[in-house]
Structure 1
Amino acid sequence: MASLAALLREAGHQVSGSDEGVYPPMSHFLADRGIPVQQGYHPRNLDPVPDLVVIGNALSRGNPEIEWVLNRRIPYTSFPEALKRFFLRGKVPVVVAGTHGKTTTTSMLSWGMEVAGLRPDFLIGGIAENFRSSYGKGGGDHFVVEGDEYDSAFFDKGPKFLHYLPYLAVIGNLEYDHADIYPDLESIKLQFRRLVHLIPTEGFLAVGGESPAALEACAGSLCARETFGLDPGCDWNADGIEMTEGRTCFDVTYRGKAFGRFRMQVVGHYNIRNALAATAVLHRLGVSARDIGRGLESFAGVRRRLQLRAEVGGIRIYEDFAHHPTAVSGTLETVRAAFRPERVWAVYEPRSATSRRNVFQLEIADALAKADCVAIPALFRPDKVPEGERLDLDRLVADLGRRGVAAWNLETVDAIIEKVVAEARPGDLVVLLSNGGFGGIYDKLPAALAGRTETTPGG
């Protein structure tokens, strides 16, 4: 919502808003752009009466501002519908969707188009380091947008991406997620089929060739379609992979013919797949292999995606957004293979609507077992999940213990910090895994480790 507000402000509209708990850096982001935000919800926040109210999907009936808008028949819309109305119409939308990798792929693709001189507009669900922003107005023909399958608003329970007028699209992979709104994988596949059916015959679709559910969802497409992945049967595939900390190299083949050897600063097999997705779309847009390579090599990553936060006393601390078992597994495999630490610590916060539920009780144990040490706090806002559906943390810790993993259910962030400070040693790597603020641990843990170093004899 903040990025949309900034786009609207830069387009010349007067924009204001209200929310609960607006704190830095988002409060600074909005203030720097001249967008006032009121703390809390009250009808007085809508004085003078706006021409249009954009309602976020976190709000529901009973909210005092929503009730005021409805009673006074003020025009209102959802975030995705506003994006379509004000920015996507008249552009060539490029929609990046899938369960994993959307933010990074959208960022890679936007940067690749920028390097190639296509000057895209873009809206990303994270901060792309090359742009130091989550949005941009390049002024070119294309608008690259991260396509979210989450619902649009209380009055529109369909996915956001169905509003985005896809002309070119990426569906990277498809797994069960968003357990609070989707009962099963079939219901998610249905929404992706609907997305695919919106792509015109002259459009283009790049689909992850190693994801059976994604392939099934895309089977009815009427546009040109290409697959990508590490499987040699994909149209776009990669081999000859070399990966070290801060560097990945790989050979790309397109339909059996060598396309180029590429280098990236980001690591992980999942990022190679993201790069292949971006490559497929860039190639479709006429970008040369040389320029694609330039874009990938200079791509600086996305904030909160395996981002180094600190190195203290020989202990590296990384932050990552992973919360789904597949993403957690990929992150832990990557840090072990690329960074080669003495031990891997996974500090995992079950925070998302799905990760707080027991739907992935076994799968998250499998994922976290790729670490040597695991520390977990209490569930985030457990009252929002029915008791019988909650992730059982004691069972999770016991399952990990049976696999030889040192695991602790420590309830609080302070207790986790105390445990890591007491037991981590030089050569260890700590990954902080959460899709939220995690009680400020990203700054608190490095500070605590620094304090330990300062008080160590000879330190």
Structure 2
Amino acid sequence: MKVHFIAVGGSAMHNLAIALHKKGFKVTGSDDVLFEPSVSRLARYGILPAEQGWFPERVTPDLDAVVLGMHARIDNPELLKAQELGLKIYSYPEYIYEQSKDKLRVVVGGSHGKTTITSMILHVLQAAGKDFDYLVGAQLEGFDTMVKLSDAPIIVIEGDEYLASPIDRRPKFHLYKANIAVLSGIAWDHINVFPTFDSYTEQFKIFLETITVAGTLFYSETDSVLKDVVLKDSSEINKLGYGLPPYHIADGITYIDYEGKSYPLNVFGQHNLLNIEAARNVCSMFDITTDEFYHYISSFKGAARRLELLGSNKHVNIYKDFAHSPSKLQATIQAVKTQFPDRKLLACIELHTFSSLNADFLNEYANTMDGADTAVVFIDQKTFEQKKMQPYAADKVKEAFKRDDLIFFDKPESLRTLLDEFEAVDSSILLMSSGNFGGLNLNELTAHILKKYFK
């Protein structure tokens, strides 16, 4: 099989390219901008494009498939050539389905927790010695790539609700046709595509209709919007709700309590406990008992950038997290404050996505940072320029968050100074972003804070 990738440097795209290469396919690709880690990973397998740019001559009639990444535009010269030749053009979710249509497909969706739930399922299935394929949105410890395609009978897929490709405006998770599905919750996001809450919620209603007949849906009963959508659905599927397991916190460690045993966790927060229960329900479909599941999940350290511990000592913990939407922001702050209630919490969020920077959407963040002792919002002034959006002042941010003492910065140097001068004694520091804080090196900053106060 010969497959060509247009915009091969994307996170999912380059991992899918590697997975197909390892499966024995002849893989080529192009991109006008390539960054790490895709450059090193593609080079490692000998499929890194020799030069950056678009080259229509690479699109030839003998190709079995062309996979189109979201980064490409509809007037991309390679795409136009493929259309001219009448080649089969797939989005990457379409191609994942094409490669897994004879497998049992587990699809994990929801506005939050998708990556973590998927990662938990993969961790436990691997520990239990199961044979499976996967697609997940983060690099995981113990897994070489973020995509695996083989002859395994099962595939576990993180089901994103964003659009499939520039020429396919369907949400990705509509294309997988789940046999077993998870929905973690519904909280408005991607307003550049779904301008109203109703239009966003509609995508989850459609997702339920894509689940195979007699398939199974596990959903969080703690989310009232999701619960309402599920209960009104008439699809011929099994619908099973889940909630929080019994648990307790002692000395900064969360334990799940089950049948007289307590299982210590490396992760914490009610949102992660719900994620664990979603994963446990899925794993039960593969003959993994509850006791076995809790035993295996005890060694799960989390997905990259999901409440990831950057550094700590007996006085301070410093975390980074991918949180950027209002619901994720509030849940992450609550998790850290609940885990370490006697410590002051400095929470900083970088608003980076189109949705979070939209002036009309900003009010959705009202009261989401109330749980932090010190609340900081950072927007890199260059982000406004790159996205061609109108900047707004600190007063508008404070008004939207409903917090007069909120600290606002638009330059990374000012943010670094604040963190450098913060009295990090008996405290937790939480840094949240889907961006990179204007290029700040968080590992160096963490080392500096730990060294400065606790030599």
Shorter-chain TM-score bucket reads 0.7 to 0.9
Alpha-carbon distance between aligned partners in 1 of 2:314 and 2:421, rounded to the nearest angstrom: 13
Residue 443 (structure 2) aligns with = 443
Alpha-carbon distance between aligned partners in 2 of 1:49 and 1:36, rounded to the nearest angstrom: 22
1:82 counterpart = 2:84: no
Alpha-carbon distance between aligned partners in 1 of 2:412 and 2:335, rounded to the nearest angstrom: 25
Conserved? CA contact 1:376–1:416, under 8 Å: yes
1:158 counterpart = 2:164: no
- Identical counterparts, % of pairs: 26
Residue 186 (structure 2) aligns with = 174
Alpha-carbon distance between aligned partners in 2 of 1:286 and 1:366, rounded to the nearest angstrom: 43
With over 3 angstroms needed to count, the CA separation of the structure-2 counterparts of 1:313 and 1:259, relative to structure 1, is closer
Q: Specify which of 249, 270, 284 is matched with residue 242 of structure 1.
A: 249
Alpha-carbon distance between aligned partners in 2 of 1:399 and 1:162, rounded to the nearest angstrom: 33
Residue 122 (structure 1) aligns with = 134
Q: Specify which of 376, 379, 388 is matched with residue 377 of structure 1.
A: 379
1:329 counterpart = 2:343: no
Conserved? CA contact 1:310–1:318, under 8 Å: yes
Alpha-carbon distance between aligned partners in 2 of 1:40 and 1:97, rounded to the nearest angstrom: 34
Question: Could you tell me how far 1:175 is from its partner in structure 2?
Answer: 1.5
Q: Give the structure-1-normalised TM-score.
A: 0.86
> Structure 1, residues 33-76: CA drift from partner, whole Å, max 9, x if none?
32213564322672667713211123222333333333444442
Q: Specify which of 220, 227, 230 is matched with residue 234 of structure 2.
A: 220
Give the partner amino acid of 2:281: A
With over 3 angstroms needed to count, the CA separation of the structure-2 counterparts of 1:399 and 1:179, relative to structure 1, is closer
Conserved? CA contact 1:333–1:370, under 8 Å: yes
Question: Could you tell me how far 1:140 is from its partner in structure 2?
Answer: 3.4
Residue 70 (structure 1) aligns with = 83
Residue 149 (structure 1) aligns with = 161
Residue 200 (structure 2) aligns with = 188
Alpha-carbon distance between aligned partners in 2 of 1:85 and 1:210, rounded to the nearest angstrom: 34
Question: Could you tell me how far 1:31 is from its partner in structure 2?
Answer: 1.9
Residue 54 (structure 1) aligns with = 67
Conserved? CA contact 1:130–1:300, under 8 Å: no
With over 3 angstroms needed to count, the CA separation of the structure-2 counterparts of 1:404 and 1:154, relative to structure 1, is closer
Alpha-carbon distance between aligned partners in 2 of 1:398 and 1:191, rounded to the nearest angstrom: 31
Give the partner amino acid of 2:321: D
Alpha-carbon distance between aligned partners in 1 of 2:62 and 2:449, rounded to the nearest angstrom: 50
Residue 233 (structure 1) aligns with = none
SS in 2 for 1:95: strand
Give the partner amino acid of 1:186: D
Residue 421 (structure 2) aligns with = 422
With over 3 angstroms needed to count, the CA separation of the structure-2 counterparts of 1:391 and 1:302, relative to structure 1, is farther
Give the partner amino acid of 1:58: H
Conserved? CA contact 2:118–2:158, under 8 Å: yes
Alpha-carbon distance between aligned partners in 1 of 2:143 and 2:301, rounded to the nearest angstrom: 9
Conserved? CA contact 2:67–2:91, under 8 Å: yes
Alpha-carbon distance between aligned partners in 2 of 1:139 and 1:192, rounded to the nearest angstrom: 30
Give the partner amino acid of 2:433: S
Give the partner amino acid of 2:200: I
Give the partner amino acid of 1:431: L
> Structure 1, residues 308-336: CA drift from partner, whole Å, max 9, x if none?
12348955321100001111111111112
Alignment RMSD: 2.9
1:395 counterpart = 2:396: yes
Long gaps (5+) in structure 1: 231-237, 253-257
SS in 2 for 1:57: coil
Give the partner amino acid of 1:336: K
* Number of residue pairs matched by the alignment: 438
SS in 1 for 2:156: strand
Conserved? CA contact 1:19–1:38, under 8 Å: no
With over 3 angstroms needed to count, the CA separation of the structure-2 counterparts of 1:444 and 1:397, relative to structure 1, is farther
Alpha-carbon distance between aligned partners in 2 of 1:56 and 1:341, rounded to the nearest angstrom: 47
Give the partner amino acid of 2:246: D
With over 3 angstroms needed to count, the CA separation of the structure-2 counterparts of 1:132 and 1:334, relative to structure 1, is farther
**Deviation larger for 123-132 or 153-162:** 123-132
Question: Could you tell me how far 1:5 is from its partner in structure 2?
Answer: 1.2
Alpha-carbon distance between aligned partners in 1 of 2:347 and 2:289, rounded to the nearest angstrom: 40
Residue 296 (structure 2) aligns with = 295
With over 3 angstroms needed to count, the CA separation of the structure-2 counterparts of 1:214 and 1:380, relative to structure 1, is farther
Residue 411 (structure 1) aligns with = 410
Alpha-carbon distance between aligned partners in 2 of 1:335 and 1:186, rounded to the nearest angstrom: 31
Give the partner amino acid of 2:295: R
Give the partner amino acid of 1:179: I
Question: Could you tell me how far 1:428 is from its partner in structure 2?
Answer: 2.9
Question: Could you tell me how far 1:203 is from its partner in structure 2?
Answer: 1.7
> Structure 1, residues 327-375: CA drift from partner, whole Å, max 9, x if none?
1111111112213463222221111121111344234241123222214
Question: Could you tell me how far 1:134 is from its partner in structure 2?
Answer: 2.1
Question: Could you tell me how far 1:244 is from its partner in structure 2?
Answer: 5.0
Conserved? CA contact 2:177–2:212, under 8 Å: no
